[in-house]
Chain A
Amino acid sequence: MAGADDGSITHALKRVWQNEAFAPEILPFETQVVTEVRSLLSNQEQVIADLASSDNFTSNVLQMELDRVRYCLSSYLRCRLVKIEKFSHLIDEDEEVQELLAEEEVVYARKFSRLVHRHLKSSFLDALPRPFAGTRDLPVLSVDVDKHVLCVVAEDIGDVQFDREDLELERGNMMLARYSHLRTFLFEDKVQLL
């Protein structure tokens, strides 16, 4: 494989993608992982280009790997965009949530929200009597942090009690629990969502 540490970076990418896919809220953007993966991808593209005419077999294998890693990265970003679109109105007003997003994602959220508003106005709201034509007070989805998620424990934490659940957080244990209870541990990398 081209490059040294990329085995671990692709695993890291897979882990952050899994967490993002199963968490009901948007998680903090993994800048470091994304930057390293992008750099790995461009290095590998270069290697493949250099090999192209001489060693078809190796270049094919490298290309396959490249496609797979690129798929993981795209899926991670896409997964975040789905949540951003779902909660774009919330994001616009909440600076704390904006901190979790990459700058490019904040811009995306704003543009998307504006796009939706524009559509609602031109398709329906503008035709209403003025006092009722506004886009304020529109129904907004909220995040379901009580949703149950499947996870595996990465580090010994011990037994934790919540009013609705008692959890045995021993390394290697797999369990179904409410996301809100696991949240802190997730942010400390002590559990992995599945």
Chain B
Amino acid sequence: MGERQAYAAAAIELLKELKRAGNDLPPANKAILDYVGGEIRMHCDEARALTREYENELDVTPEVRVAVAVHHAAIERNKRIVVAYLVERLRRVRSIRWEHGALMPEATRDAMTEGESDFLTAYQGLLLDFSTDMGVDLTGQLTEPPRDLFIEVRALESCGEIWTGAGPIHIEKNNTYLLRKSDVEDLLHRGILERTS
């Protein structure tokens, strides 16, 4: 290995990328993740090569022990950094989900890896189970305290008649309506109605 790069420098790049994105989710840097995986394997191979010649563990010289320890430390450092990276990405996915509800913004959906999408689906299941167990619905958006009872919405699709507290209302595409929030929350979630106020 002729490179004079500090161990784990590549992994640190991952964290820097995350920091630059603020609270948003940037696309996952698969290239660096693969590279770090390779770096770890390299350290593992080197450490093994160093001790291979010794039959008895007690014969290993102090110099070799130190070299092996350095390799192990580099492996642990790389691993810690990548785990921190992945965990922080998961935190951002969850935070964005809380802000936007089940319909995630397109930018985030594009930036999530397949594994993260699977995680999110399973996480929504967790929330649903918890909501059922607790008897309190935590699956919707939660960021705003309810200010108005009625909100103005525009229909993005026609969806026939819906039941409201004031009786049945016919929903036609492109029309706006002033309706009780609790009556239309579900339709807002599903993207059939859009809030205009």
Contacts and interface: CB of A to CB of B under 8 A. Distances in A.
B35 interface: no
A67 B134 contact: no
A127 interface: yes
B126 A38 contact: no
A68 interface: yes
A56 B145 CA distance: 23
B165 interface: yes
Contacts of A64: 146, 149
Contacts, number: 101
A125 B86 CA distance: 11
A128 B40 contact: yes
Interface in B63-99: 75-76, 79-80, 82-84, 86-87, 90-91, 94, 98
Interface stretch (B50-58, B115-123, B152-160, B186-194): B115-123
B26 interface: no
Interface string B1-24: 000000000000000000000000
Main DSSP-derived SS at the B contact region: helix
A63 B133 CA distance: 24
Contact of B134 (A104, A132, A138): A104
Interface stretch (A2-10, A106-114, A160-168): A106-114
Contact of B135 (A38, A67, A124, A125): A38
A107 B133 contact: yes
Interface stretch (A18-26, A71-79, A149-157, A184-192): A71-79
Contacts of A68: 145-146
A133 B115 CA distance: 18
Contacts of A111: 126, 129
B111 interface: no
Nearest to A60: B149
B136 interface: yes
Main DSSP-derived SS at the A contact region: helix
Interface string B37-53: 10011001000000000
Contacts of B133: 104, 107
Contact of B40 (A70, A77, A78, A132): A132
A77 B165 CA distance: 28
Interface string A53-64: 000100110011
A120 B138 contact: no
A116 interface: yes
A79 to B, nearest CB: 10
B136 to A, nearest CB: 6
B100 interface: no
A129 B40 contact: yes
Contacts of A75: 142
B86 A120 contact: yes
Contact of A128 (B37, B115, B129): B37
Contact of A81 (B33, B37, B130, B149): B130
8 contacts: A56-B165, A60-B180, A107-B130, A108-B129, A112-B126, A115-B122, A124-B33, A129-B40
Given A112-B123, A115-B123, A119-B119, 8 more contacts: A59-B165, A60-B165, A85-B94, A115-B119, A116-B119, A120-B86, A129-B41, A132-B44
10 closest Cβ pairs, A-B complex: A67-B146, A104-B133, A129-B44, A64-B149, A123-B115, A119-B119, A108-B130, A139-B80, A127-B37, A104-B134
